[in-house]
Amino acid sequence: MFATRYLAFMDIDETIVPRKHSKLFPMITSVANYSQYAGFSIVSAFFDPHWEPENSNNKSIIGQRVKLRRLTDVMRTKTPSRIRTKCIVNPWRIFEIGIHHVSKPIMATLQTVSLPGEYVLIHHYRVCDWRYGTNCVDHVQDNTLLSHAVEFETAVSKVLATLSNN
């Protein structure tokens, strides 16, 4: 963990997606003075695989262009969950981390800042569950990840190739 400046603790069915920047670090620096924080909390939106886009042809058109399901499931909860958050942390500043929060920074003066959902979201690809503080009735189409499609597919392919060679 100490070989990197920032580390995200994620589940396999989650992806961090910046919304106003193409990369995470410029987004973090635009939102907060990152030098005074131990970590950054990000809200999540459920991308339920059962929800179809408003234009049902859209999903099939997208599906022809891409190979990853994350790029075809584009319907998400309208309101993000503030319970199912995830964190990006500076491992040098963390004493203890939970699944959804920083439990204890290394110094009491360090804090965790919540990043606004309009800047970044956790895309959580699973069936929506109201128990996580989410309204599962209202959903919207979100094509944000499609703007990163080529880069995303390339990164996933590199990781899969590395894993298959080990």
Please say whether the beta carbons of 120 and 10 come within 8 A: no
- Bigger pLDDT: 154 vs 44: 44
Which range of residues forms the domain containing residue 29? 7-165
pLDDT at 23: 83
**Averaged pLDDT of the chain:** 84
- In total, how many domains does the chain have? 1
Helix/strand/coil (H/E/C) assignment for every residue in the chain? CCCCCCEECCCCCEEEEECCCCCHHHHHHHHCCHHHEEEEEEEEEECCCCCCCCCHHHHHHHHHHCCCHHHCCCEEECCCEEEEEEEEECHHHEEEECCCCEEEECCCCCEEEEECCCCEEEEECCCCCHHHCCCCCCEEECCHHHHHHHHHHHHHHHHHHHHHHC
For residue 1, being part of any structural domain is answered with no
Structural tokens at position 115? 């990043």
Residue 2 lies in a domain: no
Lowest mean pLDDT among 15-19, 45-49, 56-60, 108-112: 56-60
What is the model's pTM? 0.84
Q: Is the pLDDT of residue 106 over 70?
A: yes
| Per-residue pLDDT, 77 | 95
Structural domain contains residue 82 = yes
Residue 97 has phi, psi (to 5 degrees) of -125, 140
In a domain, 119, yes or no: yes
